[in-house]
Amino acid sequence: MSDQNNIWKNNLPFLKMGVKIPLFYLGKHNRNFLKIISPSPIDISLKVTEKCNSGCITCNVWREQFSKPELTIEELGEIFYQLKEIKIKTIGLYGGEPLLRKDIGEVAKKAKKIVKGSRVLAITNGLLLKGKAQELLDGGVDFVCISLDGIGEVNDKIRGVPGDYQKVIEGIKELKRIDKKKKVKINIGTTLLSLNIYQVPQLINLARELDISWSFNLFDTSPYHFKNIDNPSYLKKIDENLINETIEYIYWARKKYPRTLVGIDPVGLKFAEEYLKGKKPFFHCVLGYLRIYIDSYMNVYSGCWAMPPVGNLRNDRLKNILNSSQYKERLMKMYELQCPYCTCGFLINCLINNPLSGAQFLFKNIPFLKN
C-alpha cells in the first residue's frame, strides 16, 4: 500500500496539470474557468549566479556581469525548502553560467536532498563542462541542457568565444565517458537565427552521433537579458524558402528520430514557422500556472523573464507570493497576452493550447501512465 501511495504522491503535480489542461482550454471561452485554477507550478528556473563566461551576440547577461550577485549556499538551501513546500518537481540551475560556481555540485546535491524526488537540470553553455562533468554526476544532476548555436565557427561567432564548439563537444564526450550507468540525459539547444538556421540538419545529425537529444529556441528580445543587443533585426531576417525547408526537415526528423527530437509537436512547429516569418501568432500563455523563475536577487517571476517580478523572497515566502492577488492578476494578464510578447516556453504553450496535443504530452510524461 505504501508503494501505491508514493506513486500517487509523486505524480500528483502531473495529475493536477492534467486537470488544468481542459480548464485552460475552456478559459478561452469563459474566463471564470481560469479563476478555478490555482497557481501550483511544477518547475523552476533558478539563477544561481548572474556571472557568465560567454559573449553571445543574442544576449547581454555577460556585459558587466561580474559585479552582480551570486546566491549563497545558505540562501539556496532556504529557497529549496520553500520549493519543497510548494511541491516543485523540476529544478533548473540557471545563470549566467551555473558551472562558474565552485560549489555547483554541492548546490545540486542540496537540491536533491531537500526537494526529494525532484529532477535537477543544469542549463549551461558547456565551456566548463569537461572539467565539471564528474562534479555534476556526483551531485546527482539528472539533465544537462547545453547551448550550441551551430557547427564549428558558426557557433563560435554566435557564442562570442573562439573554440566554444570544440570545448562543448569535448565536455559532452567526457560526461558520457564517465557516466557509465547513463544517469544523466543531455540535450543541445539551438536558438534559430539567420546565421545558423541552414545548419539544423547538421545539428540534428550531430545529436544523433553523440546519442543525445536536440531542441530549438526562437530568438526574441523581450526578456530583460536579451534587450539592447546589437542589430537584432539582422539576426531575425531569414529567407522564407529556407524557413519552409527547415520546418519541413524538423517535422520529418521528429518522426524519423523520435529519441533525438523530444517534445517537438506539429502545433509548435507551425507556431515556429509563422514566428520566423515575422508574424506574432496568438496563443494563451499559461506558463505562470506551471513554472516560476527566481533570480540572484531573490526576485520571483511568474514564469516569464519579460515581465517585472511579482515579489521577493527576502520580503515574503514563496507560498504567500503565489497565493497573492497580485500574482493571480499577473497570470490573467499573461493568459490574455497583455505583456511584451515572448517565445519562452512556446512549445509547452502550444501543446496546452491544443487539447489533443496537451493530452498526448501528459500521457507521455506521467511516469506511472508510461509504465
Residue 1 forms part of a structural domain = no
Residue 5 forms part of a structural domain = no
Report the candidate in 44, 219, 21 with the shortest Cα–Cα distance to residue 120. Answer: 44
Residue 27 forms part of a structural domain = no
pLDDT tens track for 66-109: 567 789 999 999 999 999 999 999 999 999 999 999 999 999 99
DSSP 218-261: E--S-SGGGTT-S-HHHHH---HHHHHHHHHHHHHHHHH-TTTS
Q: How many domains does the chain have?
A: 1
- Rounded to 10 degrees, the C-alpha dihedral 199/230/283/118 comes to 70
The grid cell for 266 is 506539429
CATH number at residue 329: 3.20.20.70
DSSP 85-131: HTT--EEEEESS-GGGSTTHHHHHHHHHHHSTT-EEEEEE-STTHHH
What residues make up the domain containing 60? 40-370
pLDDT tens track for 189-209: 999 999 999 999 999 999 999
Q: Please, is 5 exposed, middle or buried when counting C-beta atoms within 10 Å of its C-beta (0-12, 13-18, 19+)?
A: exposed
Please give the single-letter amino acid code of residue 242.
Answer: L
Supply the pLDDT for residue 73: 96
Residue 124 forms part of a structural domain = yes
Supply the pLDDT for residue 67: 67
Mean pLDDT (the chain) is 88
pLDDT tens track for 19-28: 677 777 777 7
Is 317's pLDDT higher than 70? yes
Supply the pLDDT for residue 27: 75
Residue 16 forms part of a structural domain = no
Supply the pLDDT for residue 352: 80
Residue 10 forms part of a structural domain = no
Supply the pLDDT for residue 62: 80
Is 307's pLDDT higher than 60? yes
DSSP 302-349: SS-TTS--SEETTTS-HHHHHTSHHHHHHHHHHHTT-SS---TTHHHH
Is 177's pLDDT higher than 90? yes
Q: CA 70 to CA 75: how far, in whole Å?
A: 10
Angle between helices 2-27 and 346-353 (to 10 degrees): 80
Supply the pLDDT for residue 359: 64
The grid cell for 337 is 497576452
63 or 165, which is more confident? Answer: 165
Q: CA 16 to CA 37: how far, in whole Å?
A: 10
Residue 21 forms part of a structural domain = no
- Of the given ranges (117-126, 277-286, 356-365), which has the lowest mean pLDDT? 356-365
